[in-house]
Chains A and B, each alone.
Chain A
Amino acid sequence: MGSTLRLYLTCIRNTLHAAMCLQNFPCQEVERHNKPEVELKSSPELLLNPVVICRNEAEKCLIETSINSLRISLKVKQADELENILTKKFLRFLSMRAEAFQVLRRKPVQGYDISFLITNYHCEEMQKQKLIDFIVQFMEDIDKEISELKMSVNTRGRLVATEFLKQFI
């Protein structure tokens, strides 16, 4: 299980390393405007082929690249209904505070749980390698956090059940 995760993350890291070659490119349609082309998708010559990296049916990563921006969308594994609601709540919580992360998108792409948008300006302000490290670390942290949350909720439930049943003795 751990080895498949490592392979999955390594594949994503290598793909990001190759895809994150961004440069400033003014908008071709509107004068004096500079827009992330991966969001507009108005000029096919500025877009690269999107890449989908699947770990299994439930976990996948979509990387869409353009000349001046890159969009990464993640689908996190959800084994049961409790993980489903915890993932939904947590990622929605993070998305609503996207300004704190700078590279996070407020709304995920349809079919995915969370999305990042990296532009050439981010690559100029921050180091490319550090950005890639951050995204890969973020993926690991999310998985870990969801598992810990689920365990905490079950542990709390068990403690409360024990205390409730103690009152009958």
Chain B
Amino acid sequence: MACIDRASPALKQILLKLYRAEKSIEIDHHLYEFGSVEYHIQSQASNPLVAYLSLSIPPLCHGTLPNTLSSYTIEKIKGICPNLVEIEEPAREGFQLTLKLNLDHIPRNKDYVKVIEDISTIQSVILSSQLKEILWNVNSDDAVQGMYKPIKVVYHPREPFFVIRQPQKIIAIFPIRFKEKSDVIIATAFFQELVDVGNSDKWIKTPPCSWSAIPPPELRGEAFEDLNTNGGFVSFEISSRHVEGNRLDKTVWNLLNFNANVRYHVKSTKGFIHRRMRKRLENLVQVLHQTNSEENEQTKQVKKHQGCRYTKKLVKSSKHTMKQRWRTLGRKIKRIPFRLKIHGFTRFRQRWLRFPKFSSTKYTKLE
């Protein structure tokens, strides 16, 4: 699923096409992706070794973060592929960031795919750094009775989630909403399994998660429209070990795409249920048709047996009558009186002038 992969598949495909092209090609693409992201990729035939990538991405948290990218985010972008990527100042109109990609610096060996994939993860890098900034810039003035104010993070316009910073941990709370009741029930069954698995001994290193049908106490005081749900609330407790080193990016990306993961699971479960029902229908109908066909076959077999017996009777009777007729004919011929008496002819006639016997048991095939 495109939104769950860190690298944008469409962007990766275009950059690979540009890199692998034998002749210089002109490219001017606009891409729109999940999370209200817009990409603009441009490359001219006159200068095939350079491509321009412009990016427009809304801030994760309106009011807390400015529309422009912070210096921390820019440092993170520069760290993607330092030799390859240069930030163009100023950015193109309508975009927050424009990158100049020097394609001749991409290695010619097998690593070029990985390099292009790293460039395609630019959206996830920006989002991760923005979320980190949100968490680091939480002011102590915002703390009320030891609890910090919840920060509303908007990755998808209709699916905001809350991040609450606490002294030893960070809690991420996801209000879940679905349009159909069946989706709510499938998602609730999934959350119960998630909580069971998360709380087992084998997965103790993962962030503890919980589900509740009512808003948790940390969200007290938030707007009613944000707390009005039909799928309950899922909470994750992120501690320091989940954000150490490389795990920070993974954790941030997983939290940003939790809602998308849940929806994808619900959709694929419904597809699975339909496939299974269709298969079961075929089996049930087959049983009914098999019953009918068994009945038809039984009646056919009874008729067939009756037919066989009749033909056998017919064959037997015809052989018998044939024999009888030959015998009578033979006798008649023998009784015919000859006017000319030839000495010894009677014996000749009896011996040689005989009709052949038909043997019913032996059959000689004529070739």
Q: Is the CB of A102 within 8 A of B288?
A: yes
Contact residues of B between 44 and 84, Cβ < 8 Å to A: none
How long is the Cα–Cα vector from A118 to B25 in the complex, in angstroms? 70
A162 touches B (CB below 8 Å): yes
A145 touches B (CB below 8 Å): yes
Partner of B281, one of A100, A156, A157: A100
Given known pairs A81-B185, A158-B197, the reply for A153 and B273 (CB within 8 Å) is yes
Given known pairs A101-B284, A168-B207, the reply for A126 and B273 (CB within 8 Å) is no
Convert B72-108 into 0s and 1s, putting 1 for each residue whose CB lies closer than 8 angstroms to a CB of A.
0000000000000000000000000000000000000
A141 touches B (CB below 8 Å): yes
How long is the Cα–Cα vector from A154 to B185 in the complex, in angstroms? 12
A130 touches B (CB below 8 Å): yes
A85 touches B (CB below 8 Å): yes
Q: Is the CB of A86 within 8 A of B273?
A: yes
B182 touches A (CB below 8 Å): yes
B186 touches A (CB below 8 Å): yes
Q: Is the CB of A138 within 8 A of B284?
A: yes
CB nearest to A162 among chain B residues: B197
Please, which residues of chain B bring their CB within 8 A of the CB of A138?
284
**Most chain A CB neighbours (cut-off 10 Å) among B196, B198, B250, B284:** B284
How long is the Cα–Cα vector from A145 to B269 in the complex, in angstroms? 16
Given known pairs A134-B288, A160-B190, A169-B206, the reply for A94 and B198 (CB within 8 Å) is no
Q: Is the CB of A164 within 8 A of B194?
A: yes
Convert A116-150 into 0s and 1s, putting 1 for each residue whose CB lies closer than 8 angstroms to a CB of B.
00000000011100100110011001000100010
Q: Is the CB of A153 within 8 A of B189?
A: yes
B213 touches A (CB below 8 Å): no
How long is the Cα–Cα vector from A97 to B282 in the complex, in angstroms? 11
CB distance from A166 to the nearest CB of B (A): 8
How long is the Cα–Cα vector from A156 to B251 in the complex, in angstroms? 23
Please, which residues of chain B bring their CB within 8 A of the CB of A93?
274, 277-278, 281
**Most chain A CB neighbours (cut-off 10 Å) among B181, B193, B198:** B193
Please, which residues of chain B bring their CB within 8 A of the CB of A154?
189, 193
Number of interface residues of B (CB under 8 A): 40
Q: Is the CB of A149 within 8 A of B273?
A: yes
Please, which residues of chain A bring their CB within 8 A of the CB of B278?
93
How long is the Cα–Cα vector from A169 to B254 in the complex, in angstroms? 12
CB distance from A82 to the nearest CB of B (A): 5
How long is the Cα–Cα vector from A86 to B276 in the complex, in angstroms? 11
Q: Is the CB of B285 within 8 A of A153?
A: no
Please, which residues of chain A bring their CB within 8 A of the CB of B193?
154, 157-158, 160-161
Please, which residues of chain A bring their CB within 8 A of the CB of B181?
85
Number of interface residues of A (CB under 8 A): 39
How long is the Cα–Cα vector from A156 to B276 in the complex, in angstroms? 14
B30 touches A (CB below 8 Å): no
How long is the Cα–Cα vector from A143 to B196 in the complex, in angstroms? 27
Convert B275-308 into 0s and 1s, putting 1 for each residue whose CB lies closer than 8 angstroms to a CB of A.
0111011001101100110010000000000000
How long is the Cα–Cα vector from A94 to B282 in the complex, in angstroms? 10
Q: Is the CB of A157 within 8 A of B265?
A: yes
Q: Is the CB of B242 within 8 A of A161?
A: no
Q: Is the CB of B242 within 8 A of A168?
A: yes
How long is the Cα–Cα vector from A162 to B200 in the complex, in angstroms? 11
Given known pairs A153-B273, A154-B193, A158-B197, the reply for A145 and B280 (CB within 8 Å) is yes
How long is the Cα–Cα vector from A158 to B250 in the complex, in angstroms? 21
B272 touches A (CB below 8 Å): yes
Q: Is the CB of B185 within 8 A of A167?
A: no
Q: Is the CB of B287 within 8 A of A101?
A: no
Please, which residues of chain B bring their CB within 8 A of the CB of A24?
none
A23 touches B (CB below 8 Å): no
Partner of B284, one of A141, A152, A160, A164: A141
CB nearest to B186 among chain A residues: A153
Convert B115-135 into 0s and 1s, putting 1 for each residue whose CB lies closer than 8 angstroms to a CB of A.
000000000000000000000
How long is the Cα–Cα vector from A158 to B196 in the complex, in angstroms? 9
CB distance from A100 to the nearest CB of B (A): 5
How long is the Cα–Cα vector from A102 to B288 in the complex, in angstroms? 9
> Which residues of A pack against B, CB within 8 Å?
81-82, 84-86, 89-90, 93-94, 97, 100-102, 125-127, 130, 133-134, 137-138, 141, 145, 149, 152-154, 156-158, 160-162, 164-169
Give 12 A-B contacts (CB < 8 Å), ordered by A residue.
A85-B186, A94-B277, A126-B295, A137-B287, A153-B189, A156-B272, A157-B265, A161-B194, A164-B261, A165-B206, A168-B242, A169-B205
Contacts A153-B186, A156-B269, A164-B261 known; 15 new A-B pairs at CB < 8 A: A84-B185, A85-B181, A85-B185, A90-B277, A93-B277, A134-B288, A141-B280, A149-B273, A153-B272, A157-B192, A160-B261, A164-B194, A165-B198, A168-B254, A169-B206
